[in-house]
Amino acid sequence: MACYGRPELGTHHFWLSPEGHSIIFDPNWANWHGPVKRQIEPGLHLNNLPELDFLLVSHAHFDHLHKKSLLEIDAGQGIVVPQGSGSLVKKLGFPNVTEMKVWEER
């Protein structure tokens, strides 16, 4: 799987474009993560965001499932979130939501 682009968005958040797809993991463009201020600028800014196929959220901590950042993003194929987080992202306007258990494969 080849990956291209400037993948790092911040501390734990990144963008991949394997084989013509565009995927963001744990998108977060906040300047503050709780009491901690962002130390580096994101490698990819919201206004330069490519068309996305998927969003993936690894877990439901505020710095990974960041509601304000998710509100700014449109993912054509939907969003994958941890089990129990689906109703939250549906309220944010994502119609195609997939919930997965830890270590679940599909």
- Domains contained in the chain, number: 1
Closest CA to 89 of 62, 71, 102, 63: 71
Whether residue 34 is contained in a domain is answered as no
Whole domain around residue 14: which residue ranges?
Answer: 8-21+48-101
Whether residue 16 is contained in a domain is answered as yes
Whether residue 35 is contained in a domain is answered as no
Mean per-residue pLDDT, 15-42: 82
Residue 16 near residue 3 (C-beta atoms within 8 A): yes
Whether residue 3 is contained in a domain is answered as no
Whether residue 106 is contained in a domain is answered as no
Q: What is the pLDDT of residues 3-22, one digit of tens each?
A: 444 445 555 666 777 888 88
DSSP 8: B
pLDDT value for 60 = 84
Place of tokens 């996305």: 52
3 vs 34: which has the higher pLDDT: 34
